[in-house]
Amino acid sequence: MESDKLKALVEKYWNADTSLEEEAQLRKYFAEESVVEEWKETATLFRYYDAKRQEGVADPTFDQQVLKKIKTKPAGNMRSLVYNMSRIAAGILVVVAIGYFVRQEAKKSSPAEVVDTYSDPQLAFEETKKALMILSKGFGKAQHEVGKMRVFNEAEQKVRGESEPEK
């Protein structure tokens, strides 16, 4: 196959625009052993797809077996369907009720209008920076403490005789 035609066909394949005939041409080309180095990875992929397709060939009587099982439904199936539907409806009703009450509580507790606490944007920015720095220091201390605990856990595992400490 010509290089330009192959490139266009593969591009069309990746865009899911190929017809069945064009895909058959690609499978046939990539099934050959003499594939250009540029297309080796793509050929490997196509060969893998073909191998999986060959593996997955179903039993010819598969459709008949499935249809037979579908047609022989148990008699109590309608009762279980109604039971399951009522359980789902009850669950939805509970979620809607909870949502309604949470929304009502949020309306009661929230002020009518949100007011800025700082009139100067620069002052608000500085205060936000301070708060974030405090938070950052807290995280740094926590990380340091976790490091101490990791050392303690490793020592405990050595004492217990476990070879590899968990990470």
Report CA-CA distances (Å) from 22 to 3, 8, 28, 97, 147.
15, 11, 10, 56, 59
Q: What is the band of 152 on the pLDDT scale with cuts at 50, 70, 90? A: confident
Q: What angle do CA 157, 163, 166 make, to 5 degrees?
A: 60
14: tokens are 């990746």
Condensed to tens digits (0 to 9), the pLDDT of residues 123-151 reads: 989 999 999 998 888 887 887 777 777 77
Largest CA-CA distance found in the chain, in angstroms, rounded: 78
Q: Which amino acid is at 113?
A: E
Across 42-46, 87-91, 132-136, 163-167, least confident range: 163-167
Could you give the percent of the chain with pLDDT greater than 70? Answer: 86
DSSP of 42-66: HHHHHHHHHHHHHHTPPPTTHHHHH
Model-wide pTM > 0.85: no
101: tokens are 């009450």
Report CA-CA distances (Å) from 44 to 23, 119, 142.
15, 66, 50
Whether residue 113 has pLDDT greater than 70:
no
Domain residue ranges in the chain = 3-55, 81-111, 120-167
Q: Confirm if 39 and 30 have CB atoms less than 8 A apart.
A: yes
Q: What is the band of 114 on the pLDDT scale with cuts at 50, 70, 90? A: low
More confident of the two residues 74 and 13: 13
19: tokens are 């017809």
More confident of the two residues 26 and 78: 26
Q: Confirm if 31 and 50 have CB atoms less than 8 A apart.
A: yes
